[in-house]
Structure 1
Amino acid sequence: MIEKLFQLPGLFNGCHIYLAGVGATYTFGTSKLTKTDVVTLIRSGNGLVLSREPDPESIPPGEQTVPYHASCSSSLAKCSHYIVYRMGKDEPKLKYNMAHIKSLSIQWLFDCMESFSLREPV
C-alpha cells in the first residue's frame, strides 16, 4: 500500500525468488502460510517467482536486475536472484553468497515484508 501511495515499485521489484522445498508451510508470526500464500505475497510485491533453482554461473542478461528497495551500500545492491529456504529439512547444503545470488532463510523474506525494505542478511 505504501508503494502505491508514493508510486514506488513493489518491495520485491527486481528480485527473482526461488522457494526451496515443495509443498512447504511457513510460520509468519502466529500465521501458518502455504507455499501458494508466500508466492502470492512475493508477486504482490512485484517479485518474480522462479520455478527452478537459478544457476549462478548462467543468469540470463534480461534477469540481471537491481532491486529497487535495497540500500546502495547493502550486500543486496546488485543481487537479482534469491534462493529462499526453510531452516531444517529444506535447508540447502550449498548456500550462495555471491553479489548476484544469495541463499536466505524464509525469515529474511518475512523481515523484509515487515520493514518494507530489503534488509541486510544476518
Structure 2
Amino acid sequence: MRTLPLLAAALAFAFVVVSTARAEVIQIPLSQQGDSQLARPSKGMSKADVEKKFGAPESSQGPVGEPPITRWVYPDFVVMFEYDHVVHSVLKHKPKAPIDESEATQNEPSTEQDQAAPVEQ
C-alpha cells in the first residue's frame, strides 16, 4: 500500500518534467529557400530536351529501382527522371556563408597516422 503514493508522486513528477520540455521550431519562408526564378527542367521533359536546354550534367546516378529512377546533377539543381522523363527537379542548397574547410577538418577525429611520431630531417 505504501508504493501507491510513491507511484503517484513519481508519475506527477514525470508529467511536470515532460510538460516543461520544449523544442525550437524553425520555419523558412518559401521565398528564402532558394532562387525560385532559376530556370530548371519541368516535369515531363525528356532527357534529350533537358540535355539540349541545360547541357550535359556534371554527374549522373542510376538508374535505380523499378520504375528506374535516374538522377542528373547540375551546378544549381538536381533532376530526377523516371524512365526517360523528368519527374522532379530541386535546387541545391547554397549556404549564405562559405564553409571554412580548415575548421571542419580540425573537428574531425584524428587517425593513427596523424598520431605517429614526426620524422626528424
Normalising by structure 1, we get a TM-score of 0.25
Larger radius of gyration: 2
Normalising by structure 2, we get a TM-score of 0.25
Q: Which has the bigger relative contact order, CA under 8 A and spacing at least 6? A: 1
